[in-house]
Structure 1
Amino acid sequence: MRHWCIIGLVILLAGRSLAGHAAASPIPLSKDPNLAALKALLAEPENRVDLAQAEVTIERMIDPTVKPAATLHELDAWADRVSARIPPGASNMQKLVALNTTLYQPGPWNDNRPFAYDFDDPLGKDIQNKLLTTYLKTRKGNCVSMPMLYVILGQKIGLDMTLATAPLHVFVKFHQDDGTWLNVEATSGGTLRDQGYVDQFHIQPRALLTGIYLRPLSKKESVGVLIDTLEEFYAHHRAPEFQLDLTELALGNNPKDVLSLLMRGSAYYHLLQTRYLSRYARPEDIPASQQADYQMLSNNNLMLFAKAERLGWREPTVQEDVHYLQQIQHDKAK
């Protein structure tokens, strides 16, 4: 019997099951105290969603030492630094350039300590390195923390910009005055066309058709990107039942959140592993009274990964992972 599982950002092919459908008793609720706060964030009208407030709220769920008020104050101070460098009557593109140079070019505006990519943890294996509070402190970030700061500051200075995703990657979409979107790769401060992301991340045409990648996200969907990081934290530090409740909330907010689909499928796999795969050599060895529960967990695991595939998700190959790490080492050496 084989199933799918995703741990953090690493996809493990534990296989697929051919189990048939069967009824089963529902999995108990997790009683997660974080759900109420998350629901309140997502209940805000779209035009009142505050990405900075959502960021610090969710980061505190991961790290209780995070001080939301202090972080919000620091974000306002950075927005002031950018604003101070914008000439009167500046166009939106000039404002974007001011934001870019304030973050990435050394100068008195950043105390000669520009923000840069963290080559020591390129995969973000340490969840702390995905937090904005860590990025503000170390000024070394990744494809989660870097676009998050970029968009928060951009919105604070009045730019129309938002987040967008590629496979296991987050970047920035800037709405230009001519109505077109400009992609900003916040890990470098450069720009990249949609086709560049398609080529680099091997995105399938189906994924573009269904909209799971490359489209500009709404503010609430951007909050979902933050929830994805919380899901990764839950995968390592909470029981699967917590993950099921959290991913249900995330998918209710954005049914095209493919990472939440994978995380939800993985939660069913972990329940399956704990209850049955680690205890019984063969499915037929499972007591008849527990067969329905086994079938339900198995079916849900496979159904969710199959749904992700229908939306255009594909499992990265080993060769692609190796090539990515080699490119990181090449860039680090430059």
Structure 2
Amino acid sequence: MLAIPEKDIDIWSVAMTLAQDAYPDLDKTKLNREFESFVSRAGALAKARDDPDFHVRALNTFIYKKWGIAYDTSDYMGRKLINRYPHGVLTTRKGSCANLATFYISVAQRLGFPVYAVAAPQHYFARYVDPRLFFQNIEPTGRGGYSPDAQYVRDMEISPLAIEKGTFLRTMTHQELVADMIADHAGHYAVELKDYPTAIAILDRALARDPRAADYWYFMGQIYKFWGFQEVMREVREIKFTRAFVFMQKALRMGKGKPLEEGYWKELQKKPAKRGPGV
């Protein structure tokens, strides 16, 4: 998947391949059929006009009003496995920041809209890249509303260093998003399966494709730390702890800040972003 050229990437297909690994009994044929139907109905509304602002508003209407998709308020931190993959949005009509963003981008991509991922601390949102559109940012956890970059900087305390290095708020390529989706999938091996070597191997390959993903460098450090606690031999344990420190420090040098607290997401749901003045 990491070798797929940018022009050939289909975000939904990549997501389903990863989900199948986490859910071996997943009925991909059924879910693909349901997703294609969803996209077709969304397109009937959103493609009525050649206007990017209309596209976003129509998509938001279909996804959040007609379909009733919403943030899973029982899982603000995205710890449920189902909230790590976009098919979960289709089946439960709920999600976290990770799979709500990839689901939104998957739908937009199938419709031919230039919508790409944007990384923020422990978070992703979407961006419709078109010079005709002033309000390009799309917040999938906030019913598709708009927040300017400056608001993310203020609310998430993003440092100038993180902006300068392109760690956060840059428009990502689909290849970079795929790399981050694969890196996130490593969490299944680390958390659910406690298979630390495989998780590290997955992260290593994914980070080679998106080396600016500070959150996942930090996550690699956390895995080495957890792994170290399992080691009986002192020398091996110290090696794991040293690697944990190195990767965590690397993430901090890239501008990774303090972890967001659950309260941040709760407050976000109380005041969802708007698309623009008076909307």
Q: Is 1:78 matched up with 2:18? A: no
Retained in 2: the 8 A contact 1:212–1:311?
Answer: yes
- Computed over aligned residues only, the root mean square deviation of the Cα atoms, in angstroms, reads 2.3
| Pairwise CA distance, 1:295 | 4.5
Q: For the residues of structure 2 that align with 1:303 and 1:87, how far apart are their CA atoms? A: 48
| Pairwise CA distance, 1:129 | 2.4
Q: Look up the equivalent residue of 1:126 and give its one-letter code.
A: K
Which SS does the other structure have where 1:215 is aligned? coil
Q: Identify the match of residue 153 of structure 2 among 162, 186, 198.
A: 198
Q: For the residues of structure 2 that align with 1:224 and 1:172, how far apart are their CA atoms? A: 16
Q: Identify the match of residue 122 of structure 2 among 154, 168, 172.
A: 168
Q: Look up the equivalent residue of 1:186 and give its one-letter code.
A: P
Aligned to 2:180: 225
Q: Look up the equivalent residue of 2:189 and give its one-letter code.
A: Y
Retained in 2: the 8 A contact 1:119–1:328?
Answer: no
User: How far does the alpha carbon of each residue in 1:181-224 deviate from its partner, in whole angstroms, 9 at most, with x for none?
Assistant: 71100112200000111111111111111111111111111112
Q: For the residues of structure 2 that align with 1:311 and 1:60, how far apart are their CA atoms? A: 33
Which SS does the other structure have where 1:211 is aligned? coil
Retained in 1: the 8 A contact 2:180–2:206?
Answer: no
Aligned to 2:251: 308
Aligned to 1:26: none
User: How far does the alpha carbon of each residue in 1:228-255 deviate from its partner, in whole angstroms, 9 at most, with x for none?
Assistant: 3312212211321112111111111111
| Pairwise CA distance, 1:327 | 2.2
Highest RCO, 1 vs 2 (Cα 8 Å, sep ≥ 6): 1
Aligned to 1:267: 223
| Pairwise CA distance, 1:70 | 2.1
Q: For the residues of structure 2 that align with 1:119 and 1:270, how far apart are their CA atoms? A: 28
Structure 1 residues not aligned, in runs of 5+: 1-40, 280-285
Structure 2 residues not aligned, in runs of 5+: 273-279
Q: Look up the equivalent residue of 2:242 and give its one-letter code.
A: N
Q: Look up the equivalent residue of 2:108 and give its one-letter code.
A: G
Aligned to 1:239: 195
Retained in 2: the 8 A contact 1:231–1:263?
Answer: no
User: How far does the alpha carbon of each residue in 1:20-77 deviate from its partner, in whole angstroms, 9 at most, with x for none?
Assistant: xxxxxxxxxxxxxxxxxxxxx1111111111111010001111112222222222211
Q: Identify the match of residue 92 of structure 1 among 52, 63, 68.
A: 52
Which SS does the other structure have where 1:190 is aligned? coil
Aligned to 2:240: 297
Q: For the residues of structure 2 that align with 1:183 and 1:263, how far apart are their CA atoms? A: 26
Identical pairs, percent = 24
Say if 1:194 and 1:64 are closer, same or farther in 2 by CA, change over 3 A. same
Which SS does the other structure have where 1:255 is aligned? coil
Q: For the residues of structure 1 that align with 2:125 and 2:253, how far apart are their CA atoms? A: 24
Q: Look up the equivalent residue of 1:209 and give its one-letter code.
A: E
Aligned to 1:25: none
Retained in 1: the 8 A contact 2:183–2:202?
Answer: no
Q: Identify the match of residue 72 of structure 2 among 101, 118, 122.
A: 118
Say if 1:187 and 1:326 are closer, same or farther in 2 by CA, change over 3 A. closer
Retained in 1: the 8 A contact 2:135–2:146?
Answer: no
Retained in 2: the 8 A contact 1:130–1:145?
Answer: yes
Aligned to 1:252: 208
TM-score w.r.t. length of structure 2:
0.88
Which SS does the other structure have where 1:171 is aligned? strand
Retained in 1: the 8 A contact 2:180–2:210?
Answer: no
- 214-223 vs 121-130, which deviates more? 121-130
| Pairwise CA distance, 1:294 | 4.5
| Pairwise CA distance, 1:330 | 5.2
Q: Is 1:145 matched up with 2:99? A: yes
Retained in 2: the 8 A contact 1:250–1:260?
Answer: no
Say if 1:85 and 1:271 are closer, same or farther in 2 by CA, change over 3 A. closer
